[in-house]
Amino acid sequence: MDDMLPPWLQAPLTGALARLRGHATLVHGPSGVGQFEFSLALAAAWLCEAPVDGRACGACVGCRLMQSRTHPDFCLLVPEALAASLGWGMEDEAPRDPDRKKAKPSRELKVEAVRDAIAWSQKTSSRGRGKVMLIHPAQAMNAIAANALLKTLEEPPPGVRLVLSTSDPELLLPTLRSRCQRWSLSLPAADEALQWLEGQGLEGAQVLLRAAGGRPLDALGLAAEGVGAVQWRAIPAAVARGDAGPLSGWPVPRAVEACQKLCHDAMRLAVGGAPAFFPADSLPGGALLPALVAWSKSLARIARHDEHPWNANLLVEALVIEGARAWPRAPAAPSGKRLATLDAR
Ligand SMILES: [Zn+2]
């Protein structure tokens, strides 16, 4: 399993296995650094039945159970909405509640799930190497769920280790943070990340790595969602002419984030700086700073709202049309379609 771990996490894993002594660990670092993969590798090493230099051997019964995601002494708590993208589907839970399929998968970790995990932690270890509970992302626990976990975090059953993984420790209850030993991860240098992404066979790795703000696992995530380098490069010119085409069908948060990155880059360009997220030659020049500032405010307002009850495509098109005002000299959208702007809402 360690072979799957990106190179920039190898030395931190060795360090963590040698130095983590408490029963509760908080693994944190910027999004896309790989805190989930790192936490899994920690769990695999702890549950391995024949560790090599403290690392998971990859071959014993314990390691094979981890690889097949069926280790009885490993418990993963992730929100439903994330389980599939992490490759940990929760199919076995579906029959319990036939209506659940209709409901939107939750982005929260509910107290019931935490209580089930606590009950699990109180049973004896099946394979005698202790037990590991991994909670990712830890900030997905609502306040009730987090409070339910406190006592277990303070005084877990013997042999039980808890790993909380997060990109933002400040979002956790201070009482949770203070009970964990912290282990922080850092993003790799761009060269190292790029080399690794190319090794993963990612096409347009350089463009996607920049698109993801230098966060390699987020770059892979973009590709997994069907965002390619060509499509990413097409966004600035399309937005400048009021065409939301390259963003159509995107989840609202992803589309808003792309617009925020474009707005950021256009502002940098307007004041003589270099763009961070888009290739310089993909950005149309001549953007008007006041219009960009207004656009950034609209984008921030939409980004603050997690759920979007209204039509996602209409919302994104309205945002794009507002963005296009910053490039008045760009050619108009071919369709000439004009939708209600956000101001009119
Ligand atoms: Zn093993």
- 332 confidence band (pLDDT: 50, 70, 90): low
Taking the centre of ligand 1 as the mean of its atom positions, its distance from the CA of residue 260, in whole angstroms, is: 45
pLDDT digits (tens, 9 = 90+) for 20-57: 988 999 999 998 999 999 999 999 999 999 999 899 99
Split at pLDDT 50, 70, 90, the class of 337 is very low
Report, as an integer, the average pLDDT of 215-238: 94
Å from CA of 72 to ligand 1 middle? 15
pLDDT band at 101 (very low <50, low <70, confident <90, very high): very low
**Among 87-91, 94-98, 289-293, 316-320, where is mean pLDDT lowest?**
94-98
Secondary structure of residue 288 in the 3-state scheme: coil
49 Cα to the center of ligand 1, angstroms: 5
Q: Confidence band (pLDDT; 50, 70, 90) for 340?
A: very low
106 confidence band (pLDDT: 50, 70, 90): confident
CB 216 within 8 A of CB 193: yes
Average pLDDT over residues 199-214: 95
Cα(155) to ligand 1 centroid in Å equals 27
pLDDT category at 250 given cuts 50, 70, 90 is confident
- For the ranges 90-99, 109-118, 271-280, 324-333, which has the lowest average pLDDT? 90-99
- Ligand 1 centroid–CA 128 distance in Å is 13
Amino acid at 128: G
> Could you give the CA distance from residue 65 to residue 44 in angstroms, rounded to a whole number?
9
Q: How many CB atoms neighbour CB 210 within 10 A? A: 21
CA of 32 to the centre of ligand 1 (A): 27
- How many angstroms is it from 68 CA to the middle of ligand 1? 13
On average, the pLDDT of the chain sits at 88
Q: How high is the pLDDT of residue 179?
A: 93
Q: Exposure string (b/e) for 153-173, b if CB count within 10 Å is 16 or more?
A: beebeebbbbbbbbbebeebb
Ligand 1 centre to CA of 132 (Å) is 15
Query: Measured in angstroms, how far is the CA atom of residue 54 from the centroid of ligand 1?
Result: 10
CA of 162 relative to ligand 1 center, distance in Å: 20
d(CA 106, CA 109): 8
Cα–ligand 1 centroid distance for 345 (angstroms): 58
Q: What is the pLDDT of residue 256?
A: 94
Rounded to an integer, the average pLDDT of 97-104 is 52
3-state SS, residue 152:
helix
Q: How far is the CA of 166 from the centre of ligand 1 (A)?
A: 26
Average pLDDT over residues 254-263: 95
From the CA of 63, how far away is ligand 1's center (Å)? Answer: 4
Distance 60 CA to ligand 1 centre (A): 4
Distance 48 CA to ligand 1 centre (A): 4
Helix (H, G, I), strand (E, B) or coil at 160: strand
Beta-ladder partners of 132: 74, 161
pLDDT for res 40:
95
State the distance from the centre of ligand 1 to the C-alpha of 19, rounded, in angstroms. 20
Place of tokens 């966060």: 215
pLDDT at 176 over 50: yes
* N-terminal to C-terminal alpha carbon distance within the chain: 51
| 29 CA distance to ligand 1 middle (Å) | 27
Asked whether the predicted pLDDT for residue 335 surpasses 60, the reply is no
